[in-house]
Structures are given as structure tokens and as C-alpha cells.
């Protein structure tokens, strides 16, 4: 059984009210304009939603993973593009510094990131090595007390706006994951550039970019953990990222269900609301049941993370289930809306596009199944 504490309920309600009053009204226009939601991100920082895991001593709110999941679902209910900005900031950019950084690194970077003064990104994926995280072709070499990086990263969320980049590079490409190092990079450093901003199907207010490191000099003090320990940082970070995407998918799915229920009650066909038709009722029932199942898996993963327990398989199960449920619900929402669902004038068309990415990033559904199977068979 899951019983939310009063604090968790307050965080959920705060996020819900902000999302529905401030984020949802502009979601369609942001989807059309692709404009980064600068003002909303600033407000998220002021409310403490960009540094939810960060202890108060480093400028954050020091909340648990469950609170984060609850808040993120509500933000994504309104706009999954805004939600993924929040997710990357918390799960992918801040978490590795918080979990693996030394005190100097934490005090230097976390306060500004937790407040939203500085935006973070996470540079792991490379051309042709998306799911093979150990096959880093970005090279790094030691040069005195510094390191020099050369390479290209792809599909980097928050890339164009990022002030801080957690990035990975390989001392020896032939060593694969055994040669990977992790670094904190200040993006204003010479040799760091954004070479391309992607045109995407969905989550359009969230910018996704290709990054280039060209003779990029990083101080040795900015390395996370020791040399060749970067893969450990990457894998631990992805667990939290997958919980974030599960929460994002839940928000999309719940919005699809709510819009479908509303439309089914209003749309009249054959002399009565289509909500009276068994064909529609079964779709609604399937949507609600799958959402509840995905939510319980996501909450279970969050509960294990909060207890400090190993949860890689549970995070993958949550992400797998929730992302596929989001796509299922988006499909059914369009079907329930009929021809209107195919029109950009109706919100479910955007939700259909937004849902598609959830089975791809932070590890495809196929990768999640590999993680789950490996854990089951070990």
C-alpha cells in the first residue's frame, strides 16, 4: 500500500495548481513556436522544483524521490516539454554531482542549479552509439592537471540553454566502458559549442541539440570520481532518469484519459453521448487500469530509491510500463476523438506526438527489457 504523507500531498497539490494555472494555458502555443519556457523555468526554480533532491545546505529543498515523481507527473500533465526540462535538471544534471561529486564541486554547482539560475544538461549519447553507453568515442587525454576532450554528443536535452554539462569521454576507445571518465563542464569554456538544434515530433518547447567538444580543456578538479569510473556514474544516473521519464509518461497518459472522458460525455452520436457506448467505455476502462498499474510501478521504484535500495530493474519496469501506457492512451484518445483527434486544434494531437519519445529516450523499451531480463536471470 502507498500512503502519501501530508508533505508529499502538499508538493503534489502545489505542482498541480501551478501546472494547470500557469503551464497548461500556453502549452499549445509553445508547441507551435518551439519557444523555450524561460519564465516558467525561472518560476520552477523559485518554487524549489529544480533542486528537489538537493539538501538545503546546497540550496535545494531536500525532498524525496516520491515527492519528485508526484510533482513531475503534474507538470507533465500540463506540458511534457516543460516536464522534461525539469526532469533533466533534477535527475541527470544535478544527481551525478550530488551523488558522486566532492564537497567543492557540490558547493560550486548545486546552489545555482537548484535555484534555476544555471541550467544543466547531460551529454552521454553519441552518433551511432545511442543505446551502447559504453562505446564512447569522444576522446579525453590528460594534459598536466587538465583534461582535453574532443568529440560529438547527440540528442542532448537543454543543450542550447545549458550553463553546466555533465559529460562523458573515453581515455581509450578500445577499452569501451572501462575507459570512460565523467566531467562537469562549464559551457562557456572555449571549445564547447552547440552545432545543431533538432526539429522534433513532440516536446517542442524543450530544446534538443548536438554538442561538439573541440580541444575542450577541463580542469582536473572537474572530474567526477576517478579516472575510468565514469561508466559507474552514468549507469547510476540513468536509474533516476528513468523514474523521471516514467513520471512524464504518467502525466501524458492521465491527460489523455481526462480529455477522453470529457469528450465522450459531450460528444453525441446516434442520439446519445458516446460515453454510453460500450466500445468507448472499454477504451476508458483499459486506459485507467493501465495508468494505475504504471503509477504503482513508478511509486514502487521511487519508494525503493528513497529507502536506499538497489532499484535498477524496478526503474526499468516503471519506465517500460509507463511509456508504453502513455503511447497506448494517446492512441486511444485520438481514436475516441475521431477526426477531431487528428486536428492540431485538439490537444490530444499534441499528446500523441509528445508520448512517442517516452519509449525512446533514457533507454528504449528494448533496453529496459534487457535490464529487466538480466536482473531476473542473474
pLDDT tens digits, 25-58: 999 999 999 999 999 999 999 999 999 999 999 9
| 219 plus 249 within the same structural domain | no
| 239 plus 367 within the same structural domain | yes
CATH code where residue 111 lies? 1.10.540.10
Provide block-wise average pLDDT over 10 residues at a time, the chain (378 residues): 91 98 98 98 98 97 98 98 98 98 98 98 91 87 97 98 98 93 98 97 98 98 97 93 97 99 97 98 98 98 95 97 98 98 98 98 96 96
CATH code where residue 272 lies? 1.20.140.10
Q: With respect to residue 1, please indicate whether it lies within any of the assigned structural domains.
A: no
**Could you give the number of structural domains in the chain?**
3
Q: Which of 175, 210, 228 is the last residue of a domain?
A: 228
Q: With respect to residue 268, please indicate whether it lies within any of the assigned structural domains.
A: yes
262, 292, 362, 366: the catalytic one is 362
Domain membership of residue 100 as a residue range = 6-119
The pLDDT of residue 136: 87
Is 362 labeled as catalytic in the residue annotation?
yes
**Alpha-carbon distances of 12 from 27, 51, 70, rounded to whole Å:** 20, 15, 5
| 196 plus 244 within the same structural domain | no
Give the pLDDT confidence of 254-275 residue by residue, as tens digits. Answer: 999 999 999 999 999 999 999 9
The pLDDT of residue 1: 61
The pLDDT of residue 129: 81
pTM across the whole model? 0.97
Q: Which of 208, 228, 248 is the last residue of a domain?
A: 228
Q: With respect to residue 156, please indicate whether it lies within any of the assigned structural domains.
A: yes
Long-range contacts of 123-129 (CB under 8 A, 24+ apart): 123/153, 123/156, 123/159, 123/165, 123/166, 123/167, 123/168, 123/185, 123/211, 124/153, 124/167, 124/168, 124/234, 125/153, 125/154, 125/155, 125/156, 126/151, 126/152, 126/153, 126/154, 127/152, 127/154
Amino acid at each position: 500500500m502507498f500512503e502519501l504523507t501530508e508533505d508529499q500531498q502538499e508538493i503534489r497539490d502545489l505542482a498541480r495548481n501551478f501546472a494547470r494555472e500557469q503551464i497548461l494555458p500556453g502549452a499549445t502555443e509553445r508547441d507551435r513556436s518551439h519557444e523555450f519556457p524561460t519564465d516558467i523555468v525561472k518560476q520552477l526554480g523559485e518554487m524549489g522544483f529544480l533542486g528537489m533532491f538537493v539538501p538545503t545546505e546546497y540550496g535545494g529543498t531536500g525532498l524525496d524521490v516520491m515527492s519528485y515523481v508526484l510533482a513531475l507527473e503534474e507538470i507533465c500533465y500540463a506540458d511534457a516539454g516543460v516536464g522534461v526540462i525539469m526532469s533533466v535538471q533534477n535527475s541527470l544534471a544535478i544527481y551525478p554531482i550530488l551523488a558522486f561529486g566532492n564537497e567543492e564541486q557540490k558547493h560550486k554547482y548545486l546552489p545555482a542549479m537548484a535555484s534555476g539560475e544555471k541550467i544543466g544538461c547531460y551529454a552521454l549519447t553519441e552518433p551511432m552509439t545511442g543505446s551502447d553507453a559504453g562505446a564512447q568515442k569522444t576522446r579525453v587525454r590528460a594534459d598536466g592537471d587538465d583534461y582535453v576532450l574532443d568529440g560529438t554528443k547527440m540528442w542532448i536535452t537543454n543543450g542550447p540553454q545549458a550553463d553546466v554539462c555533465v559529460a562523458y569521454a573515453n581515455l581509450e576507445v578500445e577499452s569501451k566502458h572501462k575507459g570512460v571518465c565523467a566531467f562537469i563542464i562549464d559551457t562557456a569554456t572555449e571549445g564547447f559549442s552547440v552545432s545543431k538544434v533538432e526539429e522534433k515530433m513532440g516536446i517542442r518547447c524543450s530544446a534538443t541539440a548536438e554538442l561538439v567538444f573541440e580541444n575542450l580543456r577541463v580542469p582536473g578538479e572537474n572530474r567526477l570520481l576517478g579516472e575510468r569510473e565514469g561508466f559507474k556514474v552514468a549507469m547510476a544516473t540513468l536509474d533516476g532518469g528513468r523514474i523521471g521519464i516514467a513520471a512524464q509518461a504518467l502525466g501524458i497518459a492521465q491527460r489523455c484519459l481526462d480529455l477522453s472522458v470529457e469528450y465522450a460525455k459531450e460528444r453525441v452520436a446516434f442520439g446519445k453521448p458516446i460515453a454510453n457506448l460500450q466500445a468507448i467505455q472499454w477504451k476508458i476502462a483499459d486506459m485507467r487500469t493501465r495508468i494505475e498499474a504504471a503509477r504503482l510501478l513508478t511509486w514502487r521504484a521511487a519508494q525503493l530509491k528513497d529507502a536506499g535500495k538497489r532499484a535498477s530493474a524496478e526503474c526499468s519496469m516503471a519506465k517500460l510500463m509507463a511509456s508504453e501506457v502513455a503511447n497506448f492512451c494517446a492512441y486511444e484518445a485520438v481514436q475516441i476523438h475521431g477526426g477531431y483527434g487528428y486536428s492540431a486544434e485538439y490537444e490530444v494531437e499534441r499528446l500523441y506526438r509528445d508520448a512517442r519519445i517516452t519509449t525512446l529516450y533514457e533507454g528504449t523499451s528494448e533496453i529496459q527489457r534487457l535490464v529487466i531480463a538480466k536482473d531476473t536471470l542473474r
